[in-house]
């Protein structure tokens, strides 16, 4: 097991982590949390080198992907940088990348009845006005779990707040901050149920946020 203590706050600066081989040649990964070596609950940064592919495989409890760079592909289409995908429980695919790509991937973490397939190109989707100066782009919600992108303008501060069901953040650009530290691009933060913080930024920053999904 790796980082499966959900009651603990976890911060990983993923650019500083080493790449590890996967079962597929040319597909590398940086595991962030993992319950079993090659199955079960896992979150990772994944890199497909140019021309690499993965054999067809199932997603017993779903797969969630955000394309960080390049173009990710499978038999259903091509997904450029900024694409958000949800492949529901029981789905299968054979992914590949012609020119290479980098992904944030979460496996086997869906509610078994969360069966909606999702594809959103966040580069072409409109932002909505959020609280204060924040802009929000909702991506998915199901039974208390919410996933969204949040854009923070220069100098924005948010009120201290708690996270019922926890919170995960992946910093997509800029530098996210709170009273505990600074989190540059591609830092991954997991905060437990009912944790509290006071977030702010000094420069424009975009984060991917998931709430309400961790053990209570």
Alpha-carbon separation of residue 123 from 32, 49, 51, 68, 135 (angstroms): 26, 23, 24, 12, 14
For each of the domains in the chain, give its residue range(s) and CATH number, in order of start.
16-120 (2.60.120.10), 126-211 (2.60.120.10)
Confidence at residue 152, expressed as pLDDT on a 0 to 100 scale: 98
pLDDT of residue 39: 80
Residues 170-173: contacts with CB under 8 Å, at least 24 apart: 170/66, 170/104, 170/207, 170/208, 171/205, 171/206, 171/207, 172/68, 172/206, 172/207, 172/208, 173/204, 173/205, 173/206
User: What pLDDT, on the 0 to 100 scale, is given for residue 48?
Assistant: 98
Q: Are 64 and 109 in contact (CB under 8 A)?
A: yes
Ramachandran class of 34: left when φ > 0, alpha when ψ lies in -120 to 50, beta otherwise: beta
Calpha distance 17→209 (Å, rounded): 21
pLDDT in tens, the chain (216 residues): 999 999 999 999 999 999 999 999 999 999 999 998 878 899 999 999 999 999 998 989 999 999 999 999 999 999 999 999 999 999 999 999 999 999 999 999 999 999 999 999 999 999 999 999 999 999 999 999 999 999 999 999 999 999 999 999 999 999 999 999 999 999 999 999 999 999 999 999 999 999 999 998
pTM recorded for the entire structure: 0.97
The answer to whether 144 touches 165, Cβ cutoff 8 Å, is yes
Write down the pLDDT at residue 56. 92
List the one residue out of 105, 109, 73 whose CA is nearest residue 89: 109
In whole angstroms, what is the distance from residue 119 CA to residue 208 CA?
15
Question: 36: phi > 0 → left, psi -120 to 50 → alpha, else beta; which?
Answer: beta
The answer for residues whose C-beta is within 8 angstroms of residue 89's C-beta and 6 or more apart is 59, 60, 61, 62, 110, 112, 114, 115
Parallel, antiparallel or unpaired: strands 57-59 and 91-93: antiparallel
Determine the pLDDT at residue 33. 98
Rounded Cα distance, 85 and 121, in Å: 9
């Amino acid at each position: 097991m790796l980082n499966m203590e959900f009651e603990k706050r976890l911060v990983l600066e993923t650019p500083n982590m080493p790449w590890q081989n996967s079962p597929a040649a040319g597909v590398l990964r940086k595991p962030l949390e993992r319950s079993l070596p090659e199955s079960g609950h896992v979150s990772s940064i994944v890199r497909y080198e140019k021309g690499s592919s993965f054999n067809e495989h199932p997603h017993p409890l779903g797969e969630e992907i955000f394309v960080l760079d390049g173009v990710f592909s499978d038999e259903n289409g091509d997904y450029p940088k900024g694409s958000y995908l949800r492949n529901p429980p029981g789905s299968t695919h054979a992914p590949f990348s012609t020119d290479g790509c980098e992904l944030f991937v979460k496996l086997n973490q869906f509610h078994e009845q969360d069966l909606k397939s999702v594809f959103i190109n966040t580069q072409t989707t409109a932002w909505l006005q959020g609280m204060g100066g924040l802009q929000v782009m909702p991506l998915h919600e199901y039974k208390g779990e919410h996933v969204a992108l949040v854009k923070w303008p220069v100098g924005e501060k948010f009120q201290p707040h708690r996270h019922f069901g926890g919170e995960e953040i992946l910093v997509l650009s800029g530098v996210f901050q709170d009273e505990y530290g600074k989190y540059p691009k591609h830092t991954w933060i997991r905060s437990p149920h009912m944790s509290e913080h006071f977030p702010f930024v000094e420069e424009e920053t975009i984060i991917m946020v998931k709430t309400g999904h961790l053990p209570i």
